[in-house]
């Protein structure tokens, strides 16, 4: 009788371990799921919080909107220059004056299609001008698919305009 109870306890413990491992995906499973989600993103549409196109200003005006180092709410439109080729977690716009603006998706809660470069976009978010570290600039360059020579040439922090996007529409 004791042996039967002992084996029942072992079987129960094994089942509990097995069930708990089924509910906790491994890092590899999580990455695979995220990659699969990226593949099925439509080329156009709304991403993140729902936003309206009305009331946007051309992204080239962003420099004139930011008067200090305090963040401001913005609603801009422009043509996408580049998109993160790793996950679609950022995009850039050309400001028309030799500068770009980096748009990061808020808290990585959503992504945009990696094939969105050249498309019209509308962005609602918070803009600021901030000092970006060499490490982060190199990370962005790698995500954009830049050459190793390009990445290695980044040796100084840079002041850049940035937007933390809450929502994006891509046409």
> Per-residue pLDDT averaged across 132-148, rounded?
92
Percent of the chain with pLDDT over 70: 77
- pLDDT on residue 147: 94
DSSP string, 5-19: HHHHHHHHHHHHHHH
In angstroms, the first-to-last Cα distance of the chain is 71
Token pair recorded at residue 23: 């509910």
Which pLDDT band, with edges at 50, 70 and 90, does 162 fall under?
very high
Token pair recorded at residue 31: 């990455």
Strands in 6-119 per DSSP E:
45-48, 57-58, 72-83, 90-94, 100-105
Range name among 34-48, 82-96, 126-140 with the lowest pLDDT average: 34-48
Token pair recorded at residue 166: 């809450």
* Mean residue pLDDT across the chain: 81
Tokens 């094939």 correspond to 115
List Cβ neighbours of 61 (8 Å cut-off, separation of 6 or more): 76
- pLDDT on residue 134: 96
- pLDDT on residue 128: 93
List Cβ neighbours of 41 (8 Å cut-off, separation of 6 or more): 47, 88, 111, 112, 113, 114
Q: What is the CA radius of gyration of the chain?
A: 22
Residue 60 or 11, more confident: 60
- pLDDT on residue 104: 96
């Amino acid at each position: 009788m004791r042996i039967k109870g002992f084996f029942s306890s072992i079987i129960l413990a094994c089942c509990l371990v097995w069930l708990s491992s089924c509910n906790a995906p491994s890092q590899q499973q999580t990455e695979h799921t995220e990659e699969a989600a990226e593949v099925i993103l439509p080329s156009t549409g709304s991403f993140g919080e729902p936003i309206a196109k009305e009331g946007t200003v051309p992204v080239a005006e962003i420099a004139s909107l930011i008067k200090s180092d305090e963040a401001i709410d913005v609603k801009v439109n422009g043509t996408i220059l580049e998109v993160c080729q790793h996950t679609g977690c950022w995009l850039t716009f050309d400001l028309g004056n030799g500068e770009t603006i980096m748009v990061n998706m808020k808290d990585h809660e959503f992504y945009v299609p990696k094939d969105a470069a050249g498309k019209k976009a509308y962005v609602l978010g918070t803009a600021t001008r901030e000092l970006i570290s060499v490490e982060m600039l190199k990370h962005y360059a790698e995500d954009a698919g830049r050459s190793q020579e390009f990445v290695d040439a980044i040796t100084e922090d840079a002041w850049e305009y940035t937007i933390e996007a809450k929502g994006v529409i891509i046409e």
